[in-house]
Structure 1
Amino acid sequence: MADLQDDLHTGAEAGELDGLSVPPVTEVLPPQPHAPVSDPDDEPPARAHAVLAAHPVADGYSGLPWALKHLPWYDLELGESAVETDVPRLREGHVGALFWSLHLPEAIAGDRAVGATLEQLDLVRTVVRAHPEGLRLAHDAGQAIDARNCGRVAVLAGPAAAAALGDSLGVLRSLHALGLRVLTLTGVSWASGAGLTRFGEEVVREMNRLGVVADLSGASAETVRRTFAVSKAPTLCTRSAARALRPHPANLPDDLLVELGAAGGLCMVPLTAEQTGPTVRDVADHLDHVRTVAGPQSVGLSGTYDAGTAHPLELGDASCYPRLIAELLRRGWDESEVALLTWGNVQRVLRGAAFTARAAQLRRQPSTATIAELDG
Structure 2
Amino acid sequence: MVKVRRQDDDVWYRKPRSRCIILLVLIGLLVIVIIAVAVALAKKGGDSLPPDPLERAKALMKRVPLVDGHNDLPWQLKLHFDNRLENIDMYESTADKFDEGYGHTDIPRLRQGMVGAQFWAAYVACSNQYKDPVRFALEQIDVIKRFTNKYSEVFEFVTTAQGILDAFNKNKIGSMIGVEGGHAFDSHLGNLRMLYDVGARYVTITHSCNTPWADNWKCSQDNNPEFGGLSEWGELVIREMNRLGMLIDLSHVSFDTMHDTLRITEAPVIFSHSSAFAICAHHRNVPDDVLEKVKENGGVVMVNFYEKYINCPPMNQSVSDIKQVADHIDYLKSKCGVDCVGIGSDYDGVDVLPEGLGDVSTFPDLIAEMIRRGWSDEDIEKLLGNNLIRAFKEAEKVRDRLSSSIEPYDETIPRDSGEEANNTCRHYIYNPDN
1:65-107 deviations in Å (ceiling 9; x for gaps): 0111234422224554332112221121111101111122222
CA distance in 1, matches of 2:163, 2:47: 26
1:296 offset after TM fit, Å? 0.5
CA distance in 2, matches of 1:37, 1:55: 16
1:111 offset after TM fit, Å? 3.6
Aligned to 2:410: 368
Matched, 1:149 2:172: no
1:166-207 deviations in Å (ceiling 9; x for gaps): 110000011110111111112202111311111111111111
Aligned to 2:37: none
Aligned to 1:239: 273
After the TM superposition, which of the residue ranges 142-151 and 57-66 deviates more from structure 2?
142-151
CA distance in 1, matches of 2:306, 2:363: 13
Greater C-alpha Rg: 2
Aligned to 1:335: 377
Aligned to 1:59: 68
Q: Out of 97, 100, 125, which is 2:145 matched to?
A: 125
Alignment of 1:95-114 (within 5 A): 95-114=115-134
3-state SS in 2 of match to 1:268: strand
Matched, 1:76 2:90: yes
On the 8 A contact 1:159/1:215 being kept in 2, the answer is no
CA distance in 2, matches of 1:375, 1:263: 30
CA distance in 2, matches of 1:38, 1:122: 45
Q: TM-score, normalised by structure 1?
A: 0.87
Matched, 1:91 2:105: no
Change (3 A) 1:41 1:122: closer
Instruction: For 1:51, give the aligned amino acid.
Output: L
Matched, 1:251 2:285: yes
On the 8 A contact 1:77/1:131 being kept in 2, the answer is no
Aligned to 2:349: 307
Q: Out of 290, 315, 332, which is 1:290 matched to?
A: 332
Matched, 1:317 2:359: yes
CA distance in 2, matches of 1:90, 1:158: 19
1:230 offset after TM fit, Å? 1.1
CA distance in 2, matches of 1:207, 1:144: 21
3-state SS in 2 of match to 1:114: helix
Alignment of 1:79-228 (within 5 A): 79-81=93-95, 82=97, 83-186=103-206, 187-192=210-215, 193=225, 194-228=228-262
On the 8 A contact 1:198/1:375 being kept in 2, the answer is no
On the 8 A contact 1:55/1:343 being kept in 2, the answer is yes
Change (3 A) 1:41 1:154: closer
Q: TM-score, normalised by structure 2?
A: 0.76
On the 8 A contact 2:155/2:172 being kept in 1, the answer is yes
CA distance in 1, matches of 2:50, 2:111: 25
CA distance in 2, matches of 1:217, 1:259: 15
1:123-144 deviations in Å (ceiling 9; x for gaps): 1111111111111111011111
After the TM superposition, which of the residue ranges 176-185 and 187-196 deviates more from structure 2?
187-196
Aligned to 1:281: 323
CA distance in 2, matches of 1:78, 1:282: 30
1:243 offset after TM fit, Å? 1.0
Percent identical among aligned pairs is 33
3-state SS in 2 of match to 1:122: helix
CA distance in 1, matches of 2:47, 2:163: 26
CA distance in 1, matches of 2:50, 2:185: 52
1:53 offset after TM fit, Å? 1.4
Q: Which has the higher helix share?
A: 2
3-state SS in 1 of match to 2:128: coil
CA distance in 2, matches of 1:245, 1:344: 25
Uncovered stretches (5+) of structure 2, i.e. residues with no partner = 1-41, 82-86, 98-102, 216-224, 312-319, 419-434
Uncovered stretches (5+) of structure 1, i.e. residues with no partner = 1-30
CA distance in 2, matches of 1:217, 1:262: 18
CA distance in 1, matches of 2:47, 2:195: 42
CA distance in 2, matches of 1:326, 1:85: 21
Change (3 A) 1:40 1:138: closer
CA distance in 2, matches of 1:318, 1:216: 23
